[in-house]
Structure 1
Amino acid sequence: MAESPTPDEHVDELPADLDVTNLVGPTVFPDVAKRRIAGTIYLVIAAGCLAQWVQTANGGLLAAGVLLALIGGYHFLAGWRLAVNETEALAIASRTVGFPVGHASAQLAWYGLRSRPAWRILLYSADEPPSLRGLVECDGVSGEVMGEYTERNPEDWSEFGLGVSAGQDP
Structure 2
Amino acid sequence: MSDAETQPDAEARPGDDDNTAVSDAEITDQLPQELNVSEYVGPNLFPNNSRRRIPAIIYLAAAVICVVVWAVASESPLVNGGILAAGIALAVFAAYGFVCGRELKIDESDALVVAVGAVGFPVGHASAQMGWRGWLSRPLWRILLYSNEPQPHQRGLVFVDGITGEVIDQLVQPNPEDWTDHLTDRPVE
- TM-score norm. by structure 1 comes to 0.81
Deviation at 1:160, TM superposition (A): 2.0
Matches within 5 A, 1:71-90: 71-90=93-112
2:150 counterpart of 1:128: yes
Q: 1:41 corresponds to which letter in structure 2?
A: I
Match for 1:74: what amino acid?
Y
1:23 CA drift (Å): 5.4
Shift of residue 61, structure 1, vs aligned partner? 0.9
Counterpart in the other structure of 1:49: 66
In angstroms, what is the RMSD of aligned CA positions? 1.9
Match of 2:130 among 108, 112, 120: 108
Deviations 1:17-73 (A, max 9, x none): xx9959541111000101111101100110010000001222121011011101111
The CA distance in 1 between the partners of 2:54 and 2:182, in whole Å, is: 50
Instruction: Tell me which amino acid in the other structure corresponds to 1:44.
Output: A
Letter in 1 for 2:52: R
Query: Counterparts of 1:62 and 1:108 in 2: how far apart (Å)?
Result: 37
Unaligned runs of 5+ in 2: 1-7, 10-34, 75-79, 185-189
Q: Which residue of 2 aligns with 1:69?
A: 91
AA in 1 matched with 2:137 = S
Letter in 1 for 2:152: P
* Aligned partner of residue 49 in structure 1, secondary structure: helix
Structure 1, unmatched stretches of 5+, are 3-18, 163-170
Give the direction of change, closer, same or farther, for the CA distance of 1:65–1:118 in structure 2 (3 Å limit): same
Specify whether residues 39 and 55 from structure 1 end up closer, same or farther in structure 2 by C-alpha distance, changes over 3 A only.
same
Residue identity matched to 1:36: R
Name the aligned partner's letter for residue 147 of structure 1: D
Pairs aligned (count) = 146
The alignment partner of 1:128 has SS state of coil
- Tell me the distance in 2 between the aligned counterparts of 1:72 and 1:101: 42
Equivalent pair of 2:127/2:143 in contact (CA under 8 Å): yes
What is the aligned partner in structure 1 of residue 55 from structure 2? 38
TM-score, normalised to structure 2's length? 0.73
What is the alpha-carbon distance in structure 1 between the residues aligned to residue 145 and residue 83 of structure 2?
52
Supply the distance in 2 between the matched residues of 1:108 and 1:120 (Cα, whole angstroms): 6
1:133 and 1:54 map into 2 onto residues whose CA distance is 61
1:115: how far off? Answer: 0.3
Moved over 3 A (4+): 19-24
Q: Which moved more, 1:20-29 or 1:127-136?
A: 20-29
Residue in 2 that maps onto 1:9: none
